[in-house]
Amino acid sequence: MPNPISRIVLLTVIAAASWPAGPALAQSEQCNTERKVEARALDELTWKQLNRVYEEVGEENFNTAYDDLQNMLRRAGRDEYLQAVLYQALAQVEWSRENYDASLAHFEKAVALNTLPNQTHFALMYQIAQLYFMKERYQDALDALALWFCTVPKDQVTSHAYVLKASINIQKEDYPATLEAIDTAIAMDDDPKESWYQTKLAAHFELKQYPEAAQTLETLIARWPDKKTYWTQLSQIYYRLEQRDRALATMALAYRKGLLDKQADITYLSSLYSDAGVPYKAAEVLEKGIQDGVVEPTKSHWTMVAETWYSAEELQKALAAFREAGAVDPDGDIDLRRGFILVDLEEWSAALQALNDALDKGGLGERRTAEAYLLRGMAHFNLDAFDAAGADWNRATRYDNTRDAARQWINHLREERQRRAS
């Protein structure tokens, strides 16, 4: 469906053509010169014809409106003022029909005739710059906008014109010019738009101006505090700037606000707590993320939880996390790690079960298999299963990394048997 032309826009075309518009003197396309425009009105017949075109456009009969305007243009003769009015109207109709190249050509003809009242003339110059931008003719857009800037009365220049200039420059990858324009727009406006700060932020990133990017993100967070991406970006910039405390504080506050809803957010926050030497919070955040379904319950994630609980000396919580990791682990590595903790806790029956699981699952590699036999021998020994302990330690003597320790345990076993026999 065509993009319907605004009734207000076309009424403006007709009204501007029909009545004197503003002072006769204004600046011309040549900078620092003045443009003299004769104010005039259209005759009654032409007014009625244009009004009929307006009605056709209002009913979205764009093809009929276009044909009528072309007929009027053929009858316009050498009346350049009327020609300019009709070219402007044709441009608007072509815009509604999404014929943007034709729309641009008609606007250019209307401006080239240089007969329309100042307000309309300058508005068309600005619209031409916008059309060039939309057609990705960025240098043409910048040139057209520069011409508009140097001809339009200064009190008619708004912040939006500088936003357009910034948008063109960022497409041309001229980031210093982008920043100059967008900073001007922000300074001019009492209520700068979020997208303006986003343009500013993008330019700072491209220029690797990270302190300035951080300041921009701080402003974005202050004005739009519920946008998660600004919190995570700010934290990452602080981290890059080696302001680790600020990086953690930013993410922790976003977490408390309930903004972190992705796995990457939770794992990043957990790693920040670990780096800061706060393993308890690192484990708590990550485990809650798994329980809430935000973080996948994989072996690696449960292992991270277990290791951070272990670092926090929360051994029972570490064991519980290792059990979760072991449940999804096809080999015995996690069970062996659980066995280490249980041996430290002298929970011998549980340690024996974990070490049995580790050896039954296998996949440990030579070094870890040797450690499993050594530890299982210790569990058997403390459960008074001396024969089983001896068998495990004999197996452990076959491996270089456990041979000496296994022989010491075998000697200790022999002494214990002698002591009990006496």
| Residue 4 per-residue DSSP state | P
Residue tagged 């300019």 (tokens) = 84
Would you say 81 and 31 are in contact if contact means Cβ atoms under 8 Å apart? no
Q: State the angle between helix axes of 118-134 and 7-18 in degrees (0 to 180), rounded to the nearest 10.
A: 140
For residue 34, what are the β-bridge partners? 27
Below-70 pLDDT ranges, the chain? 1-36, 38-39
Q: Give me the pLDDT at residue 251, please.
A: 98
User: How far, in Å, CA of 286 to CA of 338, rounded?
Assistant: 19
User: How far, in Å, CA of 40 to CA of 43, rounded?
Assistant: 10
Would you say 254 and 228 are in contact if contact means Cβ atoms under 8 Å apart? yes
Q: What is the DSSP string of 123-182?
A: HHHHHHHHHHHHTT-HHHHHHHHHHHHHHS-GGG--HHHHHHHHHHHHHTT-HHHHHHHH
> Of all helices (H) and strands (E), which one includes residue 281?
helix 279-291
Would you say 88 and 107 are in contact if contact means Cβ atoms under 8 Å apart? yes
Q: Is the dihedral of CA 189, 139, 150, 19 positive or negative?
A: negative
Q: Give me the pLDDT at residue 216, please.
A: 98
Q: First and final CA of the chain: distance in angstroms?
A: 102
Question: Going by CATH, does the domain composed of 341-422 fall within 1.25.40?
Answer: yes
Q: Give me the pLDDT at residue 154, please.
A: 86
Would you say 132 and 141 are in contact if contact means Cβ atoms under 8 Å apart? yes
User: Are the folds of 1-135 and 341-422 the same?
Assistant: yes
Would you say 393 and 362 are in contact if contact means Cβ atoms under 8 Å apart? no
Task: For the chain, count helices (H), then strands (E).
Answer: 22, 2
Q: Which residues of 239-265 are buried (b: 16+ CB within 10 A; e: fewer)?
A: beeebeebbbebbbebbeeebbeeeeb
Q: Give me the pLDDT at residue 57, please.
A: 87
- Count other C-beta atoms under 10 Å from residue 350's C-beta: 17
User: How far, in Å, CA of 322 to CA of 177, rounded?
Assistant: 55
Would you say 281 and 273 are in contact if contact means Cβ atoms under 8 Å apart? yes
User: How far, in Å, CA of 372 to CA of 367, rounded?
Assistant: 9
For residue 27, what are the β-bridge partners? 34
Would you say 347 and 355 are in contact if contact means Cβ atoms under 8 Å apart? no
CA-wise closest residue to 105 among 120, 121, 119, 124: 124
- Count other C-beta atoms under 10 Å from residue 360's C-beta: 9
CA-wise closest residue to 253 among 232, 274, 280: 232
Q: Which CATH number does the domain 1-135 belong to among 3.40.980, 1.25.40, 1.10.10, 1.20.1440?
A: 1.25.40
pLDDT digits (tens, 9 = 90+) for 205-239: 999 999 999 999 999 999 999 999 999 999 999 99
Domains of the chain, residue spans: 1-135, 341-422
pLDDT digits (tens, 9 = 90+) for 349-391: 999 999 999 999 999 999 999 999 999 999 999 999 999 999 9
